[in-house]
Structure 1
Amino acid sequence: MITSKQKSFLRSEAHHLQPIFQIGKSGLTDAIIKQIEEALEARELIKISVLQNCEQNKEEIAEVLGQQAGLEVVQIIGKTIVLYKESAEKKKIVLP
């Protein structure tokens, strides 16, 4: 679990990032979850965009992703979800 100060730091780091995944009509599938976990291992901090035609709402998607081991939902803003997971091998972000 990360603190509110760490979340604030991660939000500022994520501000300039572009979403690298889009969740659409098919919703959140196991394949997408696996790709998100791989991207988090490489980058540690990513944004996901939830499209309008997605049948799940953004809170449901964030809850499912938040249940994955070690994965933290940093922020939900608009249709964008910011995720963080500390990398085991390529640690880039040092939390305060």
Structure 2
Amino acid sequence: MEKDKIYQLRTEATKIKPIINIGKNGITESVLEEIKKQLKANRLLKIKMLKTSAEGEDIKQSAEKLAEATKATLIDVRGSTVVIYK
């Protein structure tokens, strides 16, 4: 994806609130299904991750796995907030 598009999506993401919260159980199958459903409806999705949900990884690594599992593009990771786009 080109940089202009990513920059535009990051700007757009600042205006939306996190729809999904990932808690201490981490990235489960039901969480992945919900994310896929939300991506289909919204295309741009902001996800809040609990710091303990990373299972020993940092949030960036978890976000990359999440994007890969949902076949989405990782747009941004800031603190414990992840933005993906499909």
Higher helix share: 2
Residues 9-48 of structure 1: matches in 2 within 5 Å?
9-48=8-47
Structure 1 residue ranges without an equivalent (≥5): 86-96
Give runs of ≥4 in structure 1 deviating > 3 Å.
none
C-alpha RMSD over aligned residues: 1.4
User: What is the deviation of 1:69?
Assistant: 5.6
Q: State the Cα deviation string for residues 41-86 of structure 1 (Å, max 9, x = none).
A: 000001000113324331222121221364101000111000101x
With normalisation by structure 2, the TM-score equals: 0.88
User: What is the deviation of 1:30?
Assistant: 1.0
With normalisation by structure 1, the TM-score equals: 0.79
Paired residues in the alignment total: 84
Structure 2 residue ranges without an equivalent (≥5): none
Match of 1:74 in 2: 75
